[in-house]
Amino acid sequence: MPGLNSLRLGKKENLNAKKIKGILIRSFLCLFLAFAFTSTFAQTTFSGWITEETGSPVPNAIIIANDSVVAVSTEDGTFSFNGNYQKVKIQVRHTGFQPFYRVIQPKGNEVKLKFELDYLQLSEVLIEEKARTDNLQKLSAKDISEIPSASGDFIQQVLGAQAGVAINNELSASYSVRGGSYDENLVYVNGIRVYRPFLVRAGQQEGLSFINSAMVENINFSAGGFAARYGDKMSSVLDITYKKPKKFEGEAELGLMGGNFAAGSASLDGKWTYIGGIRYRANGLLLGSLETRGEYQPQFWDAQFYGTHQLSDKTEIGLLAVHSNNRFRFVPQTRETDFGGFAQALKFTVFFDGQEESRQSATTTALEINHQFSNRSKLNVTLSNFGTVQTENFDIVGQYRLDETNRDFGSDEFGDVVRNLGIGGFLNNARNRIDGNVSSIQARHSYSLGRHFIRTGASYSIENFTEKVKEYQYVDSADYSIPRDPNQLLVFENLRARNKLNTSRIQFFAEDEWKIDLPKDAELAINAGFRGHYYQYNNQFVAGPRASIAFYPKIINQINDSLSVNREMVVRLSYGQYYQPPFYRDLRSLNGVISPDIRAQKSTHYVLSLEYGLIIWDRPFKLLSEFYYKDYDNLIPYELENVRIRYYGENSAKGYATGFDVKLNGEFIEGLESWLSLGVLSTEEDLFNDREEIYLNSDGDTIPSFSFNKTPVDTIVNFPGFIPRPTDQRLRFGMFFRDQMPGFEDLTVQLNFLFGTGLPFGPPDFNRYKDILRTTSYKRVDVGFSKEFIKAGKEYSGLRKNLKSLNFSVEILNLLDAQNVVNHTWIKDVSGGQFAIPNYLTRRRINLKLTALF
């Protein structure tokens, strides 16, 4: 049936046509969808924001996608870029923060991201990106226990990384800033003043410093030119804030020289926060490397607690309580010291009898109340009390001999004694005790008014000290007593005093911060204020201005054809008058009696600084350089014996300090922060009415001399003028370098290197013009090897899931076994010549340490 066939064929043709049409439609749809998908994928937009742990935005962070720099975060922390990626590895880098990594498979045409950066695991300078009006640097406090340290004082290691800071004794927490003494530095913990020990003579007696590094949240430091809200010291300020945990956290450390445990948490409603810590330190392993052999029994421990409670939406109270107990006992036995040079090699040998014991007990309590009147107004009131009892008792008898040794390298008797130059003995005795108490109340108010931020404050403190001084030193050198008197037996030094001081002081300040917008998006940040101080004991009132002005230009640097970065740069000029009214030890003269005529010392600061952000190897770096000049007036001269400062008890000098500091920190090795620092310094003082009288005999020789003619016939008078201050360290270089073993990323190496030129010293006769000799340079290399068994950010099962990290460290302290000199012992030979016997610090030691974070 043709018709039927025709009909069937037509239907078949229609069906084929429909199939073809369907195929075409489906193909078109597939092509359309593929095109649409490809177009969408090619135009994927990545956007988001970058913050730190506190939620504050992080500007100028570099976002790297698949190893290509693609974006930089803005002032509010936001960023945006487009990319054609099926899988993208994103890195976020910023100086002062840990590098952040994330792998993303984009879905859709827009991806929202949020990165929360964590502070570096290193005590490095973290420059705040917002315009700062003061001369403070914010230092990282995250996991600073990774730094190899002989003292275990990791805050000391933080400061040692800062340009302008000199630490020349690994056993001590004392430090010098830009030529100032150890007593010229301010230290605060939660706004509470921290005091140095009063009776410590040597670094090994200090024990634990006040600050528990496991409890630290923020560290702010200034080496000069700091704002009026900080107190009255002439060199620096260190401002520590303890943590207010948001959830349970803790740290435990155990090593061959002690350990610590700290933990804190918060209530479910967030109204209660608390953190506490216990530390124990026993430096017997380290002290065993000292040249004086004997039985060392150091025992240092402390307990600390800090808690807060939110009474209402506007009122919070906080409590800080610290108790420490440091005990140092030593029974010396023998000492052998080789010194001199190729021209004359000498050996100093001592046999001891007796013992020494020192104790320090201190308690600090503080109650603070914070009330927020409004979004613009806040009041802080703090009541605090510091009490301490410190004693030192020693009876040390020594018999010594000074010998010349064989210096012929080819001789079988090389190093043996060839002749004796002198014998003698000494007796050191002390029974000293000091009881001190300082009670304070302070109020601080801040108010925001437009572009101005105004701070005011006042404090009143009562100081009570009672001290008994009873010590003497007898020296029998070269068969006669020093000082020599044929008619009687005299001691070399004899101090007897009973001091009692009950006084008070009032301090107040006011300062204003404001910012000025300039053309081309530049900005000026200004801080100006003044500070006043009245000290009842000497009835003196002092006041002085302080100010700084910072210029923030907008500098555009082209990284590639499509990306330009607003490079951070700050030029700051600071000025201030810093009066230092005397504290108890400043009042004590060389004879042990307090002097009522001491006035406030004064230092005027001029500081010019430059901060600049760099991009090196596609990684961020920070360069900080400062030029400074300090003019001193009404100085109290002092002698430095190890870490003990002995003041002359009079304002009898003027002086200056000048130099420059520079520091570069960043990721020299990708993902690991390192730093380099360099400081050049000159500081001198001129004592009023000091003079040197040189006596000549009839032969024209000076007296004393090797001549038997001791009759003076003429006198020459010299006026020394400016001489170096005891902390005049002309050049200082520091380096901290971190690296990872290739293929073993959980194994890291930390190298800490310090070099400083020699410090001035002289004979112990309290004639400052003689202190123009120089010690040998300070050289120290500490190396730490750390194995990370539990890595932060990874998930584990079993007991390991409760730990954030677990590290085992091996520290080689003083890797080069350098003999660093801390001070000198002076003796005379049979001919009347004087010899300075160097007293060395610790030698090479190995420490093992296990650290856990939870």
Of the candidates 656, 543, 683, which has an alpha carbon nearest to the alpha carbon of residue 600? 543
Of the pLDDT bands very low, low, confident and very high (cuts 50, 70, 90), residue 331 is very high
3-state secondary structure of 596: coil
Scan for tokens 């005790």, then name that residue: 433
Q: Could you give the count of Cα atoms lying within 13 Å of 604 in the half-sphere of its Cβ?
A: 8
Q: Quick check: 629 and 660 in contact, CB under 8 A?
A: no
Q: Read out DSSP for 404-426?
A: EE---TTSTTTTSEEEEEEEEEE
Q: Is the dihedral of CA 767, 772, 773, 778 positive or negative?
A: positive
Element housing 441 (H / E): strand 417-449
Range list of β-strands (E), 727-844: 731-741, 744-756, 760-761, 773-774, 778-790, 805-813, 821-828, 834-840
In this prediction, residue 635 carries a pLDDT of 96
Q: In this predicted structure, what is the pLDDT of residue 40? A: 42
Distance CA 628, CA 164 (A): 10
Q: Residue 771: CB partners within 8 Å, gap ≥ 6?
A: 639, 723, 724, 726, 760, 761, 762
Q: What is the mean pLDDT of the chain?
A: 83
Mean of pLDDT values over 709-724? 81
6: left (phi over 0), alpha (psi -120 to 50) or beta: alpha
The rounded distance, in Å, linking the Cα atoms of 43 and 703 is: 92
207: buried, middle or exposed (CB in 10 Å: 19+, 13-18, 0-12)? buried
Distance CA 811, CA 529 (A): 46
Is 26 strand, coil or helix? helix
User: Measured between alpha carbons, how far is 214 from 796 in angstroms, rounded to an integer?
Assistant: 24
Q: For residue 231, which amino acid is it? A: G
Tokens for 594?
A: 């307090």
Q: What angle do CA 376, 380, 383 make, to 5 degrees?
A: 175
- Name the phi and psi angles at 156, rounded to 5: -60, -40
Question: In sequence order, what are the residues at sequence separation of 6 or more whose Cβ sits closer than 8 angstroms to the Cβ of residue 731?
Answer: 678, 679, 680, 681, 755, 756, 757
Least confident range of 333-342, 644-653, 758-767, 789-798: 789-798
Report the pLDDT value the prediction gives residue 133, as an integer from 0 to 100: 61
pLDDT of residue 364: 96
pLDDT of residue 792: 63
Tell me what percent of the residues of the chain surpass a pLDDT of 90: 44
Comparing C-alpha atoms, which of 632, 627, 579, 633 is closest to residue 606? 627
Q: Are 253 and 808 in contact (CB under 8 A)?
A: no
Write the CA distances from 540 to 233, 426, 505, 845, integer angstroms.
16, 43, 10, 50
Of 282-296, 429-443, 445-459, which gets the smallest average pLDDT? 282-296
Q: Are 120 and 179 in contact (CB under 8 A)?
A: no
Segment 500-518 shows an average pLDDT of 94
- Residues pairing with 627 in the sheet: 608, 660
Question: Please, which pLDDT band fits residue 709 given cuts at 50, 70 and 90?
Answer: low
Rg (CA), the chain: 33
In the block, residue with structure tokens 């009032």: 506
pLDDT at 83: 75
Residue 63's Cβ-count burial label (10 Å; 0-12, 13-18, 19+) is buried
Which of the four pLDDT bands, split at 50, 70 and 90, describes residue 29? very low
Nearest to 361 by CA among 397, 322, 390, 398: 390
- Please check whether residue 726 is in contact with residue 657, taking contact to mean a CB–CB distance below 8 angstroms: no
In order of 55, 156, 522, 846, the CA distances from 74 in angstroms are: 15, 35, 15, 47
**Tokens representing 479?**
């068969």
Secondary structure of residue 32 in the 3-state scheme: helix
Residue 774 predicted with pLDDT over 60 = yes
Rounded Cα–Cα distance for residues 710 and 361 (Å): 52
Residue type, 395: D
Q: pLDDT tens digits for 519-561?
A: 877 889 999 999 999 999 999 999 999 999 999 887 655 444 4
Query: Nearest CA to 348 among 429, 406, 420?
Result: 420
How many other C-beta atoms lie within 10 A of the C-beta of residue 685? 22
Structure tokens, 610: 């430059």
Residue 125 or 97, more confident: 97
Neighbours of 495 (CB within 10 A): 16
Alpha-carbon distance of 840 to 843, in angstroms, equals 9
The DSSP bridge partners found for residue 443 are 381, 458
Lowest mean pLDDT among 29-33, 207-211, 372-376: 29-33
Q: Pinpoint the alpha helices (H) of 538-601.
A: 584-587
Q: How many helices (H) and strands (E) does the chain have?
A: 4, 50
pLDDT surpassing 80 at residue 632: yes
Task: Kindly provide the residue ranges of all beta strands, DSSP E only, lying in 450-521, ordered along the sequence.
Answer: 452-477, 480-482, 493-517
Least confident of 31-45, 439-453, 661-675, 743-757: 31-45
- φ/ψ of 416, rounded to 5, equals -80, 155
CB atoms within 10 A of CB 483: 10
Give, rounded to a whole angstrom, the gap between the first and last alpha carbons of the chain. 91
Phi, psi of 764 (to 5 degrees): -85, 55
